[in-house]
Amino acid sequence: MNQPNFIILLLFLLVLGPLIYQLLFQRKVERKIAEMEKGIANLLDNYNSLINAKNVLANKVLTIQKATDYFQKTVDDKVKNLHQMFNSVGEKTNLLYKEREALIEKVQTHVKPLTASLEDLKNQFNKLQESMKKVFGQNDEKWTELANHLDYFSDEIQKMKDHIRERNIDCEL
């Protein structure tokens, strides 16, 4: 009597065991699937974000490209103008240079005699200076005398200034 029960129990276990195992496995798989779905959803979100970022970046790149083009164009225009100006200035400079050359030639023609006379004057002045040096170099007293004369002259000028001021007051009182 006990043996059939055991068999039934064994059979029951043989049937129920895999069933329970399958149920447990299925449940585990479902949990994995749910996690995977969740992961896929996250991935999708990330993908979308990336796509958006990529779009933003692409727009920015486009804007930068446009700005670069505009800048390039502006710089080109300016450089072109500058280039034209440089050309114009260069032409004018050349013209001025030519005129200057002509003027220098003219001035030199007139200045040559003047330079010669100045040279002559300079020589005369140097001679005078040398003779003065000789005169005063012989005797330091001469320098002192000259300094005294200058001091006296300065005092006299001060006296004259005071006198003029006093005369003005005389006339205004």
Partner 1 sequence: MERTVTATMLFADLMNSTEMAKILTLQEYNEMIVDFQTTMFEVASNHLAHYGYKGNGEDAEWSIVGDEIRVFLYSGAHVFDVRNALIMALKIKLGWLTSAFNQRILKEGRLVSRIGVGINSGKVIKDVRPWREKLGRPQPNVEGYAINLTKRIESSSRSGRAYQVTVGDSFFRLCGNGANINVEFSRPQTFEFKGLGQNITLYEVVSFINHEIVTTMPPSMQPGLIEKMEYAVAQPMPEPWIFYTLLRYYISKTLSAKDETFEGKAIKLAREAVDALEHKRTLYNFLGWLHAYSKKFRDLDLAFQYYDKSLQLNPRDQKALLHRARLAERMGHNDISKRTYEEILFYNPYHHEARKKLNGYFPVQAP
DSSP line for 141-167: HHHHHHHHHHHHHHHHHHHHHHHHHHH
Least separation in angstroms between CB 154 and partner 1: 18
Least separation in angstroms between CB 164 and partner 1: 11
Least separation in angstroms between CB 148 and partner 1: 23
Mark residues 80-99: x for contact with partner 1 by CB under 8 A, - for none. Answer: --------------------
Least separation in angstroms between CB 89 and partner 1: 47
Structure tokens at 68: 């670069």
CB 95 within 8 A of CB 102: no
Mark residues 103-142: x for contact with partner 1 by CB under 8 A, - for none. Answer: ----------------------------------------
CB 142 within 8 A of CB 136: yes
By CB under 8 A, how many residues form the interface with partner 1?
9
Minimum CB distance to partner 1 smaller for 1 or for 173: 173
Least separation in angstroms between CB 145 and partner 1: 25
Write down how long the chain is.
Answer: 173
Minimum CB distance to partner 1 smaller for 35 or for 166: 166
Minimum CB distance to partner 1 smaller for 1 or for 169: 169
- Of residues 147 through 166, those in contact with partner 1 by CB under 8 A are 162, 165-166
Give the distance, in angstroms, between the CA of residue 102 and the centroid of all CA atoms in the same chain. 41
| Binding-site ranges for partner 1 (CB under 8 A) | 162, 165-167, 169-173
